[in-house]
Structure 1
Amino acid sequence: MDKWTNQLIIFTAGTGMFLSTLDTGIINVALPTLVRSFNSSMSMMTWTITLYTLGLVSTIIIFGRIGDKFGRLRIYTLGLIVFLIASIACGLAVSPTMLILSRALQGVGAALLQSTAAAIISTSLPKKEQGAAFGTLGMLIGLGPVLGPAIGGLLLSTGSWRWIFWINIPFIIFGLLGCRYIANLIQETKNSISINWIGNILLALTSFSLLWSISTLPEKGFWSTSVIGAFLFFILFLLGFLVWERKAAQPILDLKQWKKSAFILPVAGIFVLGGSTSLGFIIPPYFLEEVIHLLPWQIGLFNLSAPLGLMVFSNISGGLIDKKGTCRLMVYGLVLMASSYTILTMMQASWSLLYLVVLLFVFGAGAGIFMPANTSAIMNAASMEIQGVAGAIQRMVQNLGIAIYAAVASAFISGYSERDIAGLMSGIRGAWAFAAVSLLVVFIVFLYGHRSRKY
């Protein structure tokens, strides 16, 4: 294949990743508008985010496995179609229930896309070109959070809120045309594996129960019946899944993979990366609104700091993978992320905003260096037969990290929200410290693995 075709494969696969992150940023900006338009409540509208995440995380491994069996490009194309239908339905919603259910369907479409995007690259491009390709993929992932709030704010200011969903349509059409063109050029390898339906269902229920418990924790409280009940179901379903997988002829997750440091370390790293990144989106807006009293558009511009760093350095990192190696690049990325968050644990209300912008940009740069190398490491640690599952694991674990760390950050902040500014800043520093410690722990593990040549 020529260079143009390779670029088309990369950008076609990246379209789905871009859309899923773009929609997250847009919906966050639009929540107050949706509350007014439907004469609803913020707690009700928040379900547009919660069910999207639940639909994504609880089905992504299933679709990764199905993609390995029937062809990743075919499942990816189906994901674009589902995302298109859901986006149109979201824009046509006439009630909160219709919008929330359409967002859940959109989450399923995002799972179809995210579970197969990286596998399309790893199975279609030569190995020597995959590092740069994963760098471009990381750049497109970072571009979504950058453009999401800006596009959302513009559409809400100049037109109807419905266009925040219909804006997806031209991107989806591009992706569908790209898929059709690529399908005529590449011969996808399919695997004669059986679909482990019981394992799939147990894994989906496990993920759903965990995320339901996490999502309702900030509102209901830790000791509420719904939170404890959902967590108990999570434990039961997880135990059932592990027991079933040990005896399954073709397990949905090859548990032997988890014994390899070349696989489990990057998976642990992407969990912490996802969670730490979520704090960068949650804490600064709260600080800027409650302490500094900035306007919404000013907060939106400020929140571009970390995504810009991620987008710029993802492209740089992708070109260095073959020269520096995945583990070394991940160590470099962790140094930057851990350093910036460690400094943020000393954050004061009197800090200069420029100081905060620089620290968040440094964190984003570290995330940008880390992510392409992480994707490459996870995909290379898995066999070619389970590339879809490997890519799905990365995205599922990252989304779980986002959900769990977001709940922790909310707990820290809400615990001080009714106190004075000094108390609020203590809660903010506690949330930064939680993320900084987890980044430092992962950094030490990666550094040991690199120096001992175990990874």
Structure 2
Amino acid sequence: MTTPLVDLKGRSPWSVLPPLVLGFFMIMVDTTIVNIAVPSLQKAFDANITDVGWVNSGYLLSFAVLMLPAGRLGDRYGPRALFISGLVLFTVASAACGLAGSIGFLIAARVIQGVGAALMTPQTMAVITRVFPPKSRGAALGIWGMVAGLATIAGPVLGGLLVESWGWEWIFYVNIPVGVVAVVWAVATVPHLETHKRYFDVVGTVLAVAGLFLLVFGLQEGDTYDWGSIAGPIGIWELIGAGLVVLGVFVFWQHRLGEKALLPLRLFHYRNFSLANVSAFMISFAMLGIFFPLTIFLQSILGLSPLHAALVNLPASLLSGVVAPFAGRLSDRINGKWVVAVGFGFIAVSLMLVYAVLSPDVSEATLIWCMIPFGFGTGLVFSPMVNLATAGLDHRTAGAGAGAFNTIRQVGSVVGSAAIVAMLTGRLSTTIPDAARSVASSLPGDLQQPFAKIFSGGELSADTIQQGFQPPAGVTGQAAQQIGAAAQQAVGDGFTVAVKDTLLLVVGALVVGGLAALFMSPTRRKADAAAPVADAGESAEEPAVV
């Protein structure tokens, strides 16, 4: 039996884990569960796609921009207090989401949900890091990683079942009993940990929140405004530029404050922490980059229902959940960087297989088999990567490090979403007209002009592709059928090329993440075992410094 780092009154450190992963599971599920309910929400509130999009964007924005100060608050007031407070807030906000009578109220409730998620997420890592001895920490983080893998598919599948059975409200109501159980469990098992009541960087908090909000908003909403003007002279690129400038001021301010900073820059002196953050950013970028185009492809080109499309990814996600605990234990025994790098390799191989087989008539079974290495790879990546990132953090900066890690991971998701949407829509505006011209050349001369009218509306968006194309008015009978079949072929061919090109960008991100893992330094397991408790002024282990 492992010796806990804190007094658990005779209990095993494993008794602390269930409420932490239960809360984390709710957070991760709620990042994806709304997507499948978008048509139902549009109908219920008579809202357009942009308004409904904010149901997700509001959650992601508040989640991303508040995690960094939430991690620091965990250091100051204790991760137990912050975790339970966030859990209560998240549960109450879930009830408010289900009771929403307008789209505006629902968006506001989702923003509050994101605040609760931001309060909780850094504390889950901080508690695991401080309660579990180094020799068993990887196994605990393996469970944490397994939850992330299972939540990837649980959101769409659970959402589809609830929406079809009871209505959209239940994608939020389901959190209430789970949240209540998690709160009671957390009160009973999560220990009071040592706090460090020192200077709280208010200016840094404001700069971080403002900079991240401007950057994330610009990236998240860039496609909404066609990457142009929002209001008058204020445009998306001006907003992104302002965000980068504010974040630059934030870094300067952090350097000036030194140890008093919201984000102590000395954290990034540790090679593994810095490189693990690069890997985390890239894997989050890739996860959004994989599922966004493939989900549209499965529904729009292959004609699958949302629930059926979600089930295509089920075997890979289940495999990820099975592999993750073993990967965590393996990273306790060997250098974890090799586990992470191999995981990135498996994911890249999976995408290249999808790239090779993708076509408008590809079978679901073929895609399922191609995604199996993806599930194996994600299971290998997450928990060892977290273990490598947190290994060099002492008790004073565990919360700040967890907050920084999760913030960078979440921003990676937003950047990935924005980059993939921008590239996909950009490529569609070229690939579908190209495919249409190729198909038109095979049509009889009298049908070419009516066929061309289908694609004469200018740049094509993903929404337009999902809605499909109809023959022009006045074209009926066999001619309409022939034009419809030709349009379907052009859309399928063009969309396939655009998705394949987009997947190459994701593969590039995976290569960067894998190289970052390879450049990590070995962790010192013997030193860990000899000194399981870090002093207040030094870390439990000292990874190599950049």
Q: TM class, shorter-chain normalised?
A: over 0.9
Q: Deviations over 1:37-66 (max 9, x none)?
A: 011111101101001011011110101000
Selected match of 1:214 from 188, 211, 219 = 219
Selected match of 1:262 from 272, 277, 280 = 272
Structure 1 gap ranges (5+): none
For the residue of structure 1 that corresponds to 2:196, the secondary structure is: coil
Q: CA deviation at 1:248?
A: 1.2
Contact 1:119 1:388 in 2 (8 A): yes
- Structure 1 equivalent of residue 39 of structure 2: 32
- Structure 1 equivalent of residue 284 of structure 2: 274
Tell me the distance in 2 between the aligned counterparts of 1:449 and 1:212. 32
- Structure 2 equivalent of residue 195 of structure 1: 200
Tell me the distance in 2 between the aligned counterparts of 1:268 and 1:145. 21
Structure 1 length-normalised TM: 0.94
Distance change >3 Å, CA 46–CA 415, structure 1 → 2: same
Q: Which amino acid aligns with 1:229?
A: E
Selected match of 2:143 from 136, 145, 148 = 136
Contact 1:200 1:252 in 2 (8 A): yes
For the residue of structure 2 that corresponds to 1:120, the secondary structure is: helix
Matched, 1:438 2:447: no
Distance change >3 Å, CA 61–CA 449, structure 1 → 2: closer
Q: CA deviation at 1:347?
A: 4.3
For the residue of structure 2 that corresponds to 1:398, the secondary structure is: helix
Q: CA deviation at 1:311?
A: 1.4
Q: CA deviation at 1:214?
A: 0.6
Q: Which amino acid aligns with 1:74?
A: A
**Bigger mean CA offset, 349-358 vs 68-77:** 349-358
Matched, 1:400 2:405: no
- Structure 1 equivalent of residue 347 of structure 2: 337
**Bigger mean CA offset, 433-442 vs 336-345:** 336-345
Tell me the distance in 2 between the aligned counterparts of 1:279 and 1:232. 23
**Bigger mean CA offset, 265-274 vs 408-417:** 408-417
For the residue of structure 2 that corresponds to 1:346, the secondary structure is: helix
Structure 2 length-normalised TM: 0.79
Tell me the distance in 2 between the aligned counterparts of 1:38 and 1:408. 29
Tell me the distance in 2 between the aligned counterparts of 1:232 and 1:192. 35
Q: CA deviation at 1:392?
A: 1.5
Identity of aligned residues (%): 24
Tell me the distance in 1 between the aligned counterparts of 2:327 and 2:522. 21
Contact 1:279 1:409 in 2 (8 A): yes
- Structure 2 equivalent of residue 388 of structure 1: 399
Selected match of 2:124 from 117, 121, 124 = 117
Q: Which amino acid aligns with 2:225?
A: K
Q: CA deviation at 1:233?
A: 1.8
Tell me the distance in 1 between the aligned counterparts of 2:118 and 2:144. 16
- Structure 2 equivalent of residue 299 of structure 1: 309
Q: CA deviation at 1:356?
A: 1.8
Q: CA deviation at 1:260?
A: 2.3
Distance change >3 Å, CA 4–CA 190, structure 1 → 2: closer
Q: CA deviation at 1:191?
A: 0.7
Q: CA deviation at 1:235?
A: 2.1
Selected match of 2:53 from 33, 46, 53 = 46
Tell me the distance in 1 between the aligned counterparts of 2:269 and 2:132. 28
Contact 2:277 2:408 in 1 (8 A): yes
For the residue of structure 1 that corresponds to 2:391, the secondary structure is: helix
Contact 2:71 2:402 in 1 (8 A): yes
Structure 2 gap ranges (5+): 1-7, 433-489, 524-542
- Structure 2 equivalent of residue 246 of structure 1: 255
Distance change >3 Å, CA 68–CA 406, structure 1 → 2: same
Tell me the distance in 1 between the aligned counterparts of 2:321 and 2:237. 39
Selected match of 2:242 from 213, 228, 233 = 233
- Structure 2 equivalent of residue 425 of structure 1: 496
Root-mean-square deviation (CA, aligned residues, Å) is 2.1
Contact 1:307 1:364 in 2 (8 A): yes
- Structure 2 equivalent of residue 95 of structure 1: 102
Going by fraction, where is helix more abundant, 1 or 2? 1
Tell me the distance in 1 between the aligned counterparts of 2:210 and 2:271. 27
Q: CA deviation at 1:314?
A: 0.9
- Structure 1 equivalent of residue 356 of structure 2: 346
Q: Deviations over 1:231-259 (max 9, x none)?
A: 12202211221221121151111112223
Q: Which structure has the larger Rg over C-alpha atoms?
A: 2
Tell me the distance in 2 between the aligned counterparts of 1:187 and 1:158. 41
Distance change >3 Å, CA 423–CA 391, structure 1 → 2: same
- Structure 2 equivalent of residue 6 of structure 1: 13
For the residue of structure 2 that corresponds to 1:317, the secondary structure is: helix
For the residue of structure 2 that corresponds to 1:104, the secondary structure is: helix
Contact 1:281 1:303 in 2 (8 A): no
**Bigger mean CA offset, 409-418 vs 248-257:** 409-418
Tell me the distance in 2 between the aligned counterparts of 1:66 and 1:373. 26
**Bigger mean CA offset, 267-276 vs 174-183:** 174-183
Distance change >3 Å, CA 448–CA 380, structure 1 → 2: closer
- Structure 2 equivalent of residue 318 of structure 1: 328
For the residue of structure 1 that corresponds to 2:194, the secondary structure is: coil
Matched, 1:71 2:81: no
Matched, 1:367 2:394: no
Q: Deviations over 1:55-96 (max 9, x none)?
A: 011110101000001100110000011101211111111101
Q: CA deviation at 1:28?
A: 0.9
- Structure 2 equivalent of residue 357 of structure 1: 368
For the residue of structure 2 that corresponds to 1:150, the secondary structure is: helix
Q: CA deviation at 1:155?
A: 1.7
Contact 1:306 1:360 in 2 (8 A): yes
Tell me the distance in 1 between the aligned counterparts of 2:90 and 2:134. 30
Q: Which amino acid aligns with 1:364?
A: G
**Bigger mean CA offset, 441-450 vs 352-361:** 441-450
Contact 2:92 2:176 in 1 (8 A): no
Q: CA deviation at 1:197?
A: 0.4
Matched, 1:156 2:169: no
Tell me the distance in 2 between the aligned counterparts of 1:448 and 1:196. 32
Tell me the distance in 1 between the aligned counterparts of 2:370 and 2:235. 38
For the residue of structure 2 that corresponds to 1:219, the secondary structure is: coil
Q: Deviations over 1:382-403 (max 9, x none)?
A: 2221111111222211111111
Selected match of 2:297 from 270, 276, 287 = 287
Tell me the distance in 2 between the aligned counterparts of 1:119 and 1:175. 17
Contact 1:285 1:303 in 2 (8 A): no
Selected match of 1:409 from 409, 420, 425 = 420
**Bigger mean CA offset, 15-24 vs 220-229:** 220-229
**Bigger mean CA offset, 347-356 vs 142-151:** 347-356
